A and B are shown apart, each in its own frame.
Chain A
Amino acid sequence: MPISAPLLVHCQNLSKNFNGKPAVAGLDLDIPPRICFGLLGPNGAGKTTTLRMLLGQSPRSGGTLEIFGQDIELNRRQIRQRTGIVPQADNLDPDFTVEENLRMYGSYFRLPTHEMDRRIPQLLDMVELSARATDRIDTLSGGLKRRLTLARALVNDPEFLVLDEPTTGLDPQARHMIWSLLHRMKRNGKTILLTTHYMEEAERLCDQLMIIDNGTLLAQDSPTGLIRKYCESDVLEIRGGIPKEAMGRLPPSCRTEHAGESLYIYSNHAKPLLELAQGLPDTACLHRHSGLEDVFLRLTGRELRG
């Protein structure tokens, strides 16, 4: 079978057990080069475990796993040489300054000094940290640390960039900056794999999305493809009660979901939803187009996770 471009990541039946308990159970994951691929799932779905296996930080229990066409277990060092990682938790080196962090990290990749002299100022400039180059890590805010972690992941000029919840805990300004940097990375031909809990982020950045839960695949498509496939076009959110007779007037094609105090009515036609909304106070209901979040909640359920 001819393949147009070799896959950057190719996993089949990837699985991981912790003490006999499956964390990832038979995942097939293919990522073509030069796209941004999003891995979505509730807490404990197996996202981080999957990333750790991809990076060779956790040996797989079963299946095959190839990056750049090489088995990660056999070619870990070569693969990491071409990969950049932004982990979920901050692990910058607190014993060094901003610039020293990048230099130290570059030395683990055996980057020659002249290469670092050239690249590190550019990276600091890119994440707008040049003015903080000699500051200690503990003086940086969460947003600045995250930007530095991104710069650190780029120190070896990787072809493949992996980010585990890159914007969790950041303010909107910092989040937008990370987004624009990631757009730039993609334009520069890098392949990006990220996990996120923010559907807006997934929708804005990702060309392909995979939703997983309990270590298995639930759905995979482009963001718009997922919405088309798994959700009606319109939704009416209603807080508090709704008269029984009003519900009776809804066409049977409408789908309803209850979540706590709220009722969600999904339909491919806006009209019946708007008619229903007219009889209700403005503050109690909201009509909108459905989005990735509706797909996500439909596929993974509304109950809380650990």
Chain B
Amino acid sequence: MSNKSLPVLRIEAFTIWRRNALVWRRLMGASVLLHFGEPLIYLLGLGYGLGRFVGEMAGMPYFTFLASGFIAWSAMNVASMESMWSVYTRMVPQQTYEAILATPAEVDDIVIGELLWCATKSLFSGTAILVVAALLGAVNDWTAVFALPVIFLTGLCFAAPGLIITALARGYEYFNFYMTLAMTPMFILCGVFYPTNTLPLPMQSVVQFLPLTHAVQIIRPIVVGEPITNLGLHLGTLGLFGLVTAWVATILIRRRLIQ
């Protein structure tokens, strides 16, 4: 088998997914609190607090603008955290993958299973924020549920680079580089807090290369019930980014686990 081949999807990937889901179910209480509690605090604090001064943004109440941006951001955040800290924990201190690789399951199953799991967690989190936003009156139409598959896709797209960092990491502190150099800039620049077209022109070009920009551009209009502009461009960019990083992650994780 060539070391650089594309990952193969097998039923074992879902077994890996199921393993994580079973563990998650056990710790669900804390997890649900985190998923609902955190966005609630952010949305209430920033959305209402800041929103009082801001009023409207891009033709909608600031609270609505922020809530829809937060859904995209949380998809990125949750998938990144899971694909770095949690996957590293399973890979290095717990040696869970070493045990799994003594069975017919393969590295590809682990990679795909973990990608799917990270995206699933993004979906949980995104759903939680959507529910909170709807309860607080930021969602106008039931069609907002169409944001869910996009949230899942966004999770996949950010889980893959997370796995790349994990494959290269020598310790947990390694993840701080990615947090500071990639995740925080995207959080601030990609349209979560304000429209990207208010950025200086050169920056507007730069943020077009950041995947979170495209996730926000799809998720926000769906949540607030507006037409999506350039859907193909945004989906294509996200998809391409996800595929390429997933492929690189597969190669690197194979190299890390099979020596």
Contact = CB atoms under 8 A, between A and B. Distances in A.
B106 A76 contact: yes
Contacts of B104: 76-78, 80-81, 108-110
A95 B99 contact: no
22 contacts: A55-B102, A57-B98, A58-B259, A76-B106, A80-B102, A80-B103, A80-B104, A81-B104, A83-B102, A89-B95, A90-B95, A91-B94, A91-B98, A94-B94, A95-B23, A95-B26, A96-B23, A104-B19, A105-B103, A110-B11, A110-B104, A156-B103
Nearest to B24: A95
Interface in A1-52: 18
A95 B23 CA distance: 6
B10 to A, nearest CB: 9
A272 interface: no
Contacts of B230: none
A203 interface: no
Contacts of B18: 107
A134 B11 CA distance: 28
Given A57-B102, A108-B100, 5 more contacts: A57-B258, A58-B258, A90-B95, A91-B99, A93-B19
B203 interface: no
Interface residues of B, number: 23
A92 B99 contact: yes
Closest 10 CB pairs of A and B: A91-B95, A108-B103, A85-B102, A91-B99, A95-B23, A77-B104, A108-B105, A80-B104, A81-B104, A91-B98
Interface residues of A, number: 30
A106 B121 CA distance: 25
B184 interface: no
Contacts of A89: 95
Interface of A: 18, 55, 57-59, 73, 76-78, 80-81, 83, 85, 87, 89-96, 100, 104-105, 107-110, 156
Contacts of A80: 102-104
A228 to B, nearest CB: 37
Interface in B94-133: 94-96, 98-106
Nearest to B16: A108
Contacts of B94: 91, 93-94
Given A77-B104, A77-B106, A108-B12, A93 B259 contact: no
B206 interface: no
Contacts of A55: 102
B28 to A, nearest CB: 13
Nearest to A49: B259
Contacts of A107: 15, 18-19
Interface in B1-37: 1, 11-12, 15, 18-19, 22-23, 26
